Structure 1
Amino acid sequence: MSIEVGSKLQGKVTGITNFGAFVELPDGRTGLVHISEVADNYVKDIHDHLKVGDIVEVKVLNVEEDGKIGLSIRKAKDQSERPDRPQRPRRDHRSNERNERQSRESFEQKLAKFLRDSDERLASLRRATESKRGGRGARRG
């Protein structure tokens, strides 16, 4: 039996590590389900989701030339079984207008603003460090 990328199979969890779970496939070969492919949400401890001996449905993500098989439990679930993910909010057109205004500012204007801010910061830094060293005319002992 040939294992093809994209196929869904049933397998048995044979081992669990801190980075994933090893699943024995029907043809006797073993693949790895990385911890990020166990569930749709963040998995801190894989033992909360799987235990050795569990029968799970997996989807084949990749088959390497050296025989390693990458599997996914979360992608094996149908879309109807997956919890609804919240839609990302649409970008506000006003923020695009603000970005356009900022990009219209010329390079020279941006550079002048940067130099002004930099000079102010250096001046305040110099004042703070000179007072700690005893000022300009302090004698060293």
Structure 2
Amino acid sequence: MSLEQGNIVEGVVTGITSFGAFVELPGGRTGLVHISEVAEVYVKDINDFLKVNDKVKVKIISVDPKGKIGLSLKQANPSTNNRAPRKARFEPSFEDKLAKFMKESDERLSDLKRQTESKRGGRGGFRY
């Protein structure tokens, strides 16, 4: 299959950077999926969506004269990339985070009170 603009091909993710992911295409050529072309939702970290050796379907969106190939995941799979990233699906809810924070805060406060009371003599301590 030739690598022409508009074709949808399958490739393997070979590298991930802060600005995109490199995908090896059929024939041994490599293209780049820019971070803006990974998903329909905002992508802060590509590692939330892709990892090395993932097989992906990509659409070739550009081939420049120097041989650089621009790819898009979201244009090749418009319905599957609307979901939340892998990590976000397992994050605790706001209420869970708040409850954890309150518990840790109460524990820190009680530790602090115990430390200050022992330095001042505390309750019922022996006094002269």
**Does the residue aligned with 1:65 lie in a helix, a strand or coil?**
coil
**Does the residue aligned with 2:31 lie in a helix, a strand or coil?**
strand
Relative to structure 1, the CA distance from residue 47 to residue 81 in structure 2 (aligned partners, 3 Å threshold; closer, same or farther) is closer
Cα shift at 1:27: 1.1
Letter in 2 for 1:49: F
Letter in 2 for 1:20: G
Q: Distance in 2 between matches of 1:56 and 1:71?
A: 11
TM-score by length of 1: 0.56
Show the counterpart of 1:20.
Answer: 20
Letter in 2 for 1:73: L
- Which one has the largest radius of gyration? 1
Q: Distance in 2 between matches of 1:22 and 1:82?
A: 18
Q: Distance in 2 between matches of 1:44 and 1:81?
A: 18
Show the counterpart of 2:115.
Answer: none
Letter in 2 for 1:72: S
TM-score by length of 2: 0.61
Show the counterpart of 2:102.
Answer: none
**Does the residue aligned with 1:2 lie in a helix, a strand or coil?**
coil
> Are positions 1:53 and 2:49 aligned together?
no
Runs of 4+ in 1 over 6 A off after TM superposition: none
Show the counterpart of 1:63.
Answer: 63
**Does the residue aligned with 1:36 lie in a helix, a strand or coil?**
helix
The share of aligned pairs that are identical, in percent, is 63
> Are positions 1:39 and 2:31 aligned together?
no
Higher relative contact order (CA 8 A, sep 6+): 2
Q: Distance in 1 between matches of 2:44 and 2:21?
A: 14
Letter in 2 for 1:35: I
Letter in 1 for 2:59: K
| Unpaired segments ≥5 residues, structure 2 | 83-128
Show the counterpart of 2:105.
Answer: none
Q: How many residues align?
A: 83
